[in-house]
Amino acid sequence: MRVLIAEDEINLAQGLCFNLEQEGLEVHSVISGEEALAQYAAYDLLVLDIGLPGIDGFEVLRRIREHDERFPVIVLTARAAEDDRVAGLALGADDYITKPFSLKEFLLRVRGKLRQVGWYTGSGRHGPVKVGAALFDLDRQTVTREGREERTTVREQALVQYFLDHPNQALSRDDLLREVWGYTAGTASRTPDTFVARLRKLVEVDPANPRHIVSVRGKGYLFSPDGTG
């Protein structure tokens, strides 16, 4: 699984990265709110400092929640004031750790959060699956395109599984939000579009003219395993 850390104290960020990597996670860090917003969707969990240069962690969290009600975020902050704590939770932080914190506590919270990430497990399909230009390895959670291997997030993996289990049928955003993200019906979110855009870059030979993950006007998406569109 992939974790993004947004923290401008470089020593702290490096220490957290090192310790999460020891847990077998793929970890990257950024030092600004802008970078966190641009990159978080490619990760399974965001560890978010509140006191960041530019847009602060509260604003980052608010903007993430506009698009995605459930993306896992653990907030780190030096502000222990009760009103900040309440503001953070009201904006939808999953968890809240006040600095200074113990490394042990931090690791427990991250592990707990990643365990909770609910996702579509589907048919229990295993092993490598070729879709268009990409080879997904569903056991190792990797995708290879043109010889370059990278990790997929839990949610990307879940979306691929769901498409594979429901080929050649129009799937609405509601279907995807309910089945892949576990949202209740009627939740308006553009989250699937973001994920589909990224999957198309992996799968489609020409992402501007998709043949495998096709848009169906007024409905959503249709997955075509053999690319007939």
Residues at the site binding Ca ion, with contacts judged by CB under 5 A: 8, 49, 51
**Which C-beta is closer to Ca ion: that of 13 or that of 117?**
13
Minimum distance from CB of 169 to Ca ion (Å)? 47
For residue 128, cis peptide bond before it (omega within 30 degrees of 0): no
Tokens linked to 103: 């490394």
Q: Please report which helix (H) or strand (E) contains residue 209, including its range.
A: none
**Which C-beta is closer to Ca ion: that of 12 or that of 170?**
12
Minimum distance from CB of 6 to Ca ion (Å)? 9
Q: Which residue has the tokens 């609910």?
A: 118
**Which C-beta is closer to Ca ion: that of 50 or that of 202?**
50
**Which C-beta is closer to Ca ion: that of 96 or that of 172?**
96
Minimum distance from CB of 16 to Ca ion (Å)? 12
Minimum distance from CB of 55 to Ca ion (Å)? 13
Q: Which residue sits closest to Ca ion, CB atoms considered?
A: 51
Those residues with Cβ within 8 angstroms of residue 144's Cβ, 6 or more apart along the chain or in another chain = 134, 135, 137, 150
**Which C-beta is closer to Ca ion: that of 9 or that of 165?**
9
Minimum distance from CB of 57 to Ca ion (Å)? 8
**C-alpha to C-alpha distances, 23 to 27, 46, 105, nearest whole angstrom:** 10, 16, 14
Question: What b/e sequence results for 119-135 when a residue is b if at least 16 CB atoms lie within 10 Å of its CB, and e otherwise?
Answer: bbebeeeeeebebbbbe
Helix (H, G, I), strand (E, B) or coil at 29: strand
**Which C-beta is closer to Ca ion: that of 12 or that of 107?**
12
CA distance 33 to 8: 9
Q: How many CA atoms lie within 13 A of 29 on its CB side?
A: 19
CA distance 102 to 90: 25
Minimum distance from CB of 132 to Ca ion (Å)? 42
